[in-house]
Each structure stands twice: as C-alpha cells, then as structure tokens.
Amino acid sequence: MSAWMRLTLAATALVVVPGWTWSQTPLEKQSAPPVKPPPAPTVVAARVNGQEILELAVYRGLLRERIENWSAARQEILNYLIDNLLVDQYLTQLKVDVEPKDVEARYAQIQDEAAKGKQNFAEILKKLHLSEAELKKELHAALRWDKFVLQQATDKVLLDYFQKNPAMFDGSQMQARHILVSARDDAEGQQKIAVIKKGIEDEVARQITAQPAGDKIALEKARTKALLTAFAGAALKDSTCPSKKQGGELPWFRRVSDMVEPFARASFALQPSQMSDAVKSEFGYHLILAVDRKPGRDVKFEDVKSFVAEVYGQRLREAIIAAYKPRSKIEILGGVN
C-alpha cells in the first residue's frame, strides 16, 4: 500500500485505489473547496471506550464529498473512524507496536512523494487541517496494523484461504437484484423480508398457472420471467435502495471489493433464479435474487498472492470489529456539520 494511500486514509478516512501518488491525484483535483468552515479542534464527535474521535477527523473525510452529500456521508465516515479506533485498541491490548524510526521513515517517504509530485507538503497538511503529530499517530496505527497482518498471514494461511475461496480470486462475477428494507432488529428485518419473499413467490405461482405442466423447459422460462417481473414490482414498492427504480437491478459485481461482504457472500451462494432469505448488512436487510453468473478463470496462488493477502487482511479486520464492537462502549455525541 502506497504512502499516499496511507495519508489519504489517515486524512479523510476513505478507502481509495491503491497505488495513487501525489502527482496523479493532487488534493486540488480530489474535491472542491469546502463550503462550511472546519469545527473547533476540541469538538468531540464520538467516544470509543473513553477514547475520543474529534469532529475535525470527520470533517477531513467530508472534504472529498460534495457539500450536499455531507449529511449522508457523515455517519459512514464516523463509523469508519470508530471501527479503525476499535482495531487500534485491540492491537494495543495485544501489545503490537512499531518502532518510532519506522514511523519517521514512512513520514519521510510521504514527504518525498509530495516533492516528486511537485506538491507543497505543508500546504496539503494545512488544507486537511492535519498536524504533523496527528499524521504520525495515524501512520503508527497503519504500520501497526500492517505488522499484525503480516504476523497472521503466513504463506500457509494464505494458501489455505486461497484454496477454500476460489471465487474470490478467479474473477467470477454475479448479476443480481435486491430489495433493501430497514428494521429495528433482526426479528423485524427477517419478518419483513419473509413477507416480501412470500408475496413474490405467490405472484410467480399465479403467473405460471396457465403454463402446460408437461413442457418443463417452457415452464422454467415462464417461471424465470415471472420471477424477474414480480421481484421488480416488489422492489419498486418496498425497497429503500435507489436501485428500486430499476427493479432492484445491480451491475455485475465480483466476489470481493465491489459489495459489502455479507451481501457478496450470500449472492455467490445462490444459483441463478434463486432468492435468498434475509441478509443483514450495515445498510439494512436484503432480499437477493441471483440473475446470472460469469465463471472465473484458473489462477495460480503465486500470481494473486498479494491480493489474497489484501483480502485476508480485510476479513481479519472485519472479524476483529465483529468480536470487539459489541463489548465496547461507543458514544455518538452528535455532529456539527
């Protein structure tokens, strides 16, 4: 992961494309100047187990967003910062640490990349309302995470992960539709999805009653067509996702990187023309309809090892958050933007 990406993560709390450099993506081209002034440096956005997240850190993330999107983006950025802090607290408990000289070396690397890109490093930090000490603190956390992942992701572990999850790495793609609903808890979410699914199944059964029972091919074609029609109608009526206008239709997506993990995992477990049960993600509860699938290609572990390590690291982070978050005290103090 490049030093520029690390700075972007530290400064804006947004995941960007690996390999960016200062010359390729100067700050001026990344976002328009913010309309709202920054919050005071003492304003607290949240506390995680007593440790503060400043509103200014959330503001840095909002710098990449259009001003009209700030309200919607704020919670996502704050959630990301909370998760980052939870992971860092976990590593603190494990006594995983890095040498100060390694932080200084990474800081110098970032400065060098800025100079090569003919960027004024001090000006960039000023525009991000980011001090040298704050950046070094973020770099310490990033380097500590890298060290922890390297300790866990041995060649044997990565090979085993690769062999058990071929669809993650062979370029397989899925096309699906979905219906998204919100709910207060799992019971309500599952009930809402079950009712919608039953309604779709009943409508499909009604539409194909006129088909000759003996012609199995024609019957299956009719069922597939009826399922798409019924699902699209239910999406338009019940879904809270903007895709409802397209009948819940989503673009082709890969097993990793394109969709949140619970959604991707559930989708790839389906066969075409099969619906899921309720699938919970950070956005709500989904009913997924698999539409089509493109098989991947044969790949060798050595050719995708770095990507396997990246995915393994993502899943490791998610597992830590899932285990640690329910036992943590998280206080959301309200935004000022």
Write the CA distances from 137 to 79, 91, 103, 150, integer angstroms.
Answer: 19, 14, 9, 20
Rounded to whole angstroms, the Cα distance separating 223 from 212 reads: 12
pLDDT at residue 17, as a whole number? 26
- Count Cβ atoms within 10 A of the Cβ of residue 132 and give its class: 0-12 exposed, 13-18 middle, 19 or more buried: exposed
User: What is the three-class DSSP state of 63?
Assistant: coil
Give all domains of the chain, ordered by start, each with its CATH number: 3-161+307-332 (1.10.4030), 171-294 (3.10.50.40)
User: Residue 122: how many CB atoms within 10 A of its CB?
Assistant: 11
* Average predicted confidence (pLDDT) for the chain: 87
pLDDT at residue 14, as a whole number? 31
pLDDT at residue 337, as a whole number? 52
pLDDT at residue 35, as a whole number? 60
Q: Would the pTM count as exceeding 0.95?
A: no
pLDDT at residue 51, as a whole number? 96
DSSP letter for each residue of 207-271? HTTTS-TT-HHHHHHHHHHHHHHHHHHHHHHH--SGGGGGTTB---EESSSSS-HHHHHHHHTSP
pLDDT 10s digits, 131-158: 999 999 999 999 999 999 999 999 999 9
pLDDT at residue 136, as a whole number? 94
pLDDT 10s digits, 274-312: 999 999 998 999 999 999 999 999 999 999 999 999 999
Average pLDDT of the residues in 162-184:
96
Question: Which of these, 255, 237, 124, lies nearest to 179 by C-alpha position?
Answer: 237
Rounded to whole angstroms, the Cα distance separating 309 from 306 reads: 5
Burial 34-44 (b: 16+ CB within 10 A, else e): beeebbeeebe
Query: Does the pLDDT of residue 16 top 50, yes or no?
Result: no
Most confident of 112-116, 217-221, 236-240: 236-240
pLDDT 10s digits, 190-217: 999 999 999 999 999 998 887 666 678 8
Residue 189's pLDDT band, with cuts at 50, 70 and 90, is very high
Rounded to whole angstroms, the Cα distance separating 4 from 8 reads: 6
Write the CA distances from 4 to 8, 117, 245, integer angstroms.
Answer: 6, 11, 38
> What percentage of the chain's residues is helix, strand, coil (to nearest 5)?
55, 10, 30
Residue 336's pLDDT band, with cuts at 50, 70 and 90, is low
Percent of the chain residues topping a pLDDT of 70: 87
